[in-house]
């Protein structure tokens, strides 16, 4: 059995607790215009972007970093949307769990409930991307159904969940709605990050135009302060 991935990033520091190995799975059912990993959107292999790897080979790559996991780290499955390949991934998850390796998923939660339930059986951590809350813009801009997101959110253990919010014109406009969401669902941790153009070369290779907004530091800091009123440990991160 194989998985389709784009990269295995060793010694990751921003994809969950401790030092981690991050596996970027290829394929996503959303179309976020600010995506930092455009090579992970299509499930098809695109030139040098993407390859199939056996579960055994991927496990060997993860096990190589096990000495670093003593910091409280482990493996993070990101993407793309990693839960779209959860059925193929499950045997590896079972093996990693038996080896006491911490497992984290970064997900947007716009997936079938059955996919999330499989991931939940093995996961020690979830990073949930809060991309857009308004039902209309969520469907029109990124192609997601907000009710699917909210229903899946109900299934998570928030003591094991970090929310991650990109600062865009959409999140700024939805600040009050996001605050209400945080009042109802108080995660273990909250991270916000600003958009960047570090993926420009990948957009160029893919012949895609990169979306970018100029949001100044004052707007980000103001947004940050409002979120800290609900989640005091909220922090701005660079990813």
pLDDT level of residue 218 (50, 70, 90 thresholds): very high
- The fraction of the chain above a pLDDT of 90, given in percent, is 90
- Strand blocks (E) in 74-179: 74-78, 102-107, 125-129, 161-167
Is the distance from CB of 84 to CB of 111 less than 8 angstroms?
Answer: yes
Residue 237 CB: number of other CB atoms within 10 A? Answer: 11
Choice among 14-18, 211-215, 233-237 with the minimum mean pLDDT:
211-215
| Domain around 165 | 2-236
Mean pLDDT of 197-206: 90
Is the distance from CB of 97 to CB of 122 less than 8 angstroms?
Answer: yes
pLDDT above 80 for 239: no
Mean pLDDT of 135-148: 96
> pTM of the predicted model, to two decimals?
0.95
Mean pLDDT of 125-148: 96
Give tens-digit pLDDT for 45-104. 999 999 999 999 999 999 999 999 988 999 999 999 999 999 999 999 999 999 999 999
Mean pLDDT of 32-41: 94
Mean pLDDT of 130-148: 95
Nearest-angstrom CA–CA distance, 61 and 190? 29
Q: Please provide the average confidence, as pLDDT, over all residues in the chain.
A: 95
Tell which residue, 106, 107, 103, has the closest CA to residue 75: 103
**How confident is the model at residue 212, as a pLDDT?**
82
Mean pLDDT of 140-161: 96
Domains identified in the chain, total number? 1
Tell which residue, 62, 64, 119, has the closest CA to residue 96: 62
Give tens-digit pLDDT for 160-176. 999 999 999 999 999 99
Which CATH number is 109's domain given? 3.20.20.70
């Amino acid at each position: 059995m194989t998985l389709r991935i784009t990269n295995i990033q060793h010694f990751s520091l921003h994809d969950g607790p401790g030092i981690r190995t991050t596996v970027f799975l290829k394929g996503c059912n959303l179309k976020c215009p600010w995506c930092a990993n455009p090579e992970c959107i299509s499930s098809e292999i695109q030139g040098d972007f993407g390859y199939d790897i056996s579960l055994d080979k991927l496990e060997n790559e993860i096990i190589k970093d096990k000495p670093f996991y003593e910091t409280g780290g482990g493996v993070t499955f990101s993407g793309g949307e990693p839960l779209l390949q959860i059925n193929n991934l499950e045997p590896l998850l079972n093996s990693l769990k038996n080896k006491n390796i911490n497992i984290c998923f970064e997900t947007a939660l716009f997936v079938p409930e059955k996919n999330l339930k499989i991931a939940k059986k093995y996961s020690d951590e979830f990073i949930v991307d809060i991309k857009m809350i308004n039902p209309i813009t969520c469907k029109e801009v990124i192609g997601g159904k907000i009710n699917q997101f909210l229903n899946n959110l109900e299934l998570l253990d928030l003591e094991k969940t970090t929310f991650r919010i990109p600062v865009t014109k959409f999140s700024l406009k939805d600040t009050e709605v996001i605050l209400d969401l945080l009042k109802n669902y108080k995660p273990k941790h909250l991270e916000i990050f600003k958009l960047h153009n570090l993926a420009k070369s990948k957009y160029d290779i893919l012949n895609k135009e990169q979306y970018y907004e100029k949001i100044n530091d004052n707007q980000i800091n103001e947004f940050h302060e409002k979120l800290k009123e609900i989640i005091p440990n909220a922090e701005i991160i660079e990813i």
